[in-house]
Amino acid sequence: MSTSPRPDATFAELGLPVALVQTLRNAGIEKPFPIQAATIGDALAGRDVLGRGPTGSGKTLAFGLPMLTRLTGASAKPGRPRGLVLVPTRELATQIERALDEAALSLGLRVASVVGGAPIKRQADRLARGVDLLIATPGRLDDLIKQRAADLSDVMITALDEADHMADMGFLPQVTRLLDRTPKDGQRLLFSATLDGDVDKLVKRYLNNPVTHSTAPAEASVTTMTHHLLYVRDKNIKRTVATEIAARDGLTIMFVRTKHGADRLAKQLRGAGVDAGSLHGGKAQNNRVRTLAAFADGSVPVLVTTDVAARGIHIDGVSLVVHFDPPAEHKAYLHRAGRTARAGEDGVVVTLVTDEERKDVAAMTRKAGVQTDGVEVRPGDRKLVEITGARKPSGIALAAPAPTQVNAPKSANGGRPRRGRSGGAPASEAAQGHSRGAGAPRRERPAGESRSRKPAGAGGHARSGDTPTNSRRRAARPAAPAARRNRSAN
Ligand code: AMP
């Protein structure tokens, strides 16, 4: 039975310690999101929890805060974490570590992440110094255990985040092996955007009489998100339309099918004067970290990526998601779309659909439960401008991105925008009267102010745990340690 908290309960009323509540408040996080209000009490009471919420709903704190609270008051022995979070990708691991960093500090706990693609020796050394809450991708943790650098026998609470993604990526054998190494009577929290198929097998095998909290149906139910199908006659028109969309004001993610396709589109956009980075599993990890950081701080406003970035990753203020290539299936559509309209913000999702793709895309969006309108667009169309804020790019080619340096600072240009934008009326003007269009006014940031340094509670949604201290530390933190720490499975 669930403790059924009041939906309007405060973090303190849910049972979180004062120090934690204060740290959250400093970060501008005052009121629990629904999934947090629904699950924190049960998790604190030691119950196994099965939670489903839409992406961006605040799942990280929903499992992270009760985990930290339950770990408080004791200390991990070398190589023996007491709490474990398993995640599918290196980026998500780093994101969760950052989100919980300050909260852990306030409780005197040590948090670390271990992911592939980084020197394992350094991670073994970190574990040897004692880690209370370990965030890991399954493969690397498996390796560390084989090397006897990690032992899971003291793990009293385990969280699986994006469990469906781990299942889809074929991680279940490793995940089950790891869970088998944790104490049988340990507490387990399983969070996922969707709870079906293989996730169900995990639930049956590892969760003991779980309370289930679902704060949303499986369909795309984020009311601040609008969806459009943009019909483009052929591939050439599609590329020109995509370039005009990319030249808009605001952060844009473009999803493509293949790694090669991501590189090609990013190159094409830079050739037209739009600063774009490409991110996919074929890139070196330090390159991935730098690309994400430059996108997050706004210095490179367009991210062209494969489905590697479709899940879990949270970047503030992504106002438009473009399916440049339609996704393979409806779940991928929802995950990709979930990169926008996060934490209550507005967001627009458009799919570029060629004539021959129309039938498949219509079936897929129906399955995704998405209400879409379809409209024919050509370069320069008023409708295209209204929906996406598209505009003509400068046409002045930008240089290829600088070669990746392992020790380069997070934002090599100090956070200054270095985009080659065309002048002309801002997209927001062109989109007047369409407040839900992606071209609608966005929050302006003074030049040089990093997105990640935006004070929490100042009209936006800061990352969790994003206190001024934490943010300053992060802004000053070189990319290299993160680069060394990370490798996701794809
Ligand atoms: P998540 O779904 O965990 O990736 O969280 C999405 C975003 O919502 C992150 O930037 C969090 O910092 C933010 N967030 C989570 N919980 C709250 C809350 N209770 N109040 C305000 N922002 C929050």
Q: Which of 35, 135, 464 to mutate to test the pocket of ligand 1 (most atoms within 8 A of CB)?
A: 464
User: Which structure tokens are listed for 481?
Assistant: 């340690």
Q: What is the pLDDT of residue 216?
A: 56
pLDDT at 468 over 60: no
Q: Please state, in angstroms and rounded to a whole number, the distance separating the CA atoms of residues 437 and 415.
A: 27
CATH code for the part of the protein at 225-388? 3.40.50.300
pLDDT band at residue 55, thresholds of 50, 70 and 90? low
Q: What is the pLDDT of residue 334?
A: 85
> What is the per-residue pLDDT across 305-362, written as a single tens digit (0 to 9) for each?
998 777 756 777 888 999 999 998 888 898 888 888 776 677 899 999 999 899 999 9
Domain residue limits, the chain: 18-214, 225-388
For 264, phi then psi, to 5°, come to: -65, -45
User: Which structure tokens are listed for 174?
Assistant: 């490793």
Q: Please state, in angstroms and rounded to a whole number, the distance separating the CA atoms of residues 442 and 319.
A: 8
pLDDT at 226 over 70: yes
Selection from 207-216, 230-239, 456-465 with the highest mean pLDDT: 230-239
Task: Find the 212 Cα to ligand 1 centroid distance in Å.
Answer: 20
pTM above 0.75, yes or no: no
For domain 18-214, is the CATH number 3.30.830.10?
Answer: no
> What is the per-residue pLDDT across 231-279, written as a single tens digit (0 to 9) for each?
999 999 999 999 999 999 999 999 999 999 999 999 999 999 999 999 9
- Mean pLDDT (the chain) is 79
Q: Which atom from ligand 1 is nearest to the alpha carbon of 57?
A: 2
CA distances from 466 to 63, 137, 217, 224, 448 (A): 17, 23, 29, 24, 19
User: Which structure tokens are listed for 63?
Assistant: 């499992």
Contacts of 338 (CB under 8 A, 6+ apart): 54, 55, 56, 193, 222, 310, 311
Q: What is the pLDDT of residue 47?
A: 96
Contacts of 253 (CB under 8 A, 6+ apart): 302, 303, 304, 305, 309, 318, 320, 321, 322, 336, 339, 340
Do 18-214 and 225-388 show the same overall fold? yes
> What is the per-residue pLDDT across 14-46, written as a single tens digit (0 to 9) for each?
999 999 999 999 999 999 998 899 999 999 999
Q: What is the pLDDT of residue 488?
A: 34
Q: Which of 33, 39, 92, 161 to mutate to test the pocket of ligand 1 (most atoms within 8 A of CB)?
A: 33
CA distances from 192 to 41, 199, 207, 312, 365 (A): 18, 9, 14, 10, 21
